[in-house]
Amino acid sequence: MTLDIWLFAAVCLFILTFCAVLRVIPGPTLHDRLIATNIAATLACAGALALTISAGDLIILVLAGLLACIVFATTIRISQVQRRETP
């Protein structure tokens, strides 16, 4: 049995992404949740890159990049809006 190291790395990174997402839910403040979201997006991108090579399909990487851009842009926007609303 051959261990596919790319698939193994992708699975491990997605498990770590899930742990970071679990940190998003009980975050004590909004900023904690935003930081956890950033880390989850970063780890998900790394897992998607490993999964791209394991599956042999570049569309996974493209979709992950687009989703990461959306998540980071949303995070920055939420942070700015929250700053504007804070007296």
Partner 1 sequence: MYRLCDYNTDLPGTTEGNAMIELAVDAILYILLLAAIGFGWISVIGLLLFPDIRSRAFTGIRAGIIAMTLVTASAICYGLFTWTTNGGMQYMVLVFAAALMLVIVVALNRVAADAICRNAVPAPSHSGEPKDRS
> Where along the sequence are the contacts to partner 1 (CB under 8 A)?
2, 4-6, 8-9, 12-13, 16, 19-20, 23, 29, 31-32, 34-36, 38-39, 41-43, 45-46, 49-50, 52-59, 61-62, 64-65, 68-69, 72-73, 75-76, 79-80, 82-83, 86
Per-residue tokens: 3: 């261990």
Instruction: Write out the two tokens for 58.
Output: 């570049």
CA angle 43, 66, 63 (to 5 degrees): 80
- Please provide the size of the chain in residues: 87
- Least distance (Å) from partner 1 to the CB of residue 78? 9
Q: How far is the CB of 87 from partner 1 (least distance, A)?
A: 13
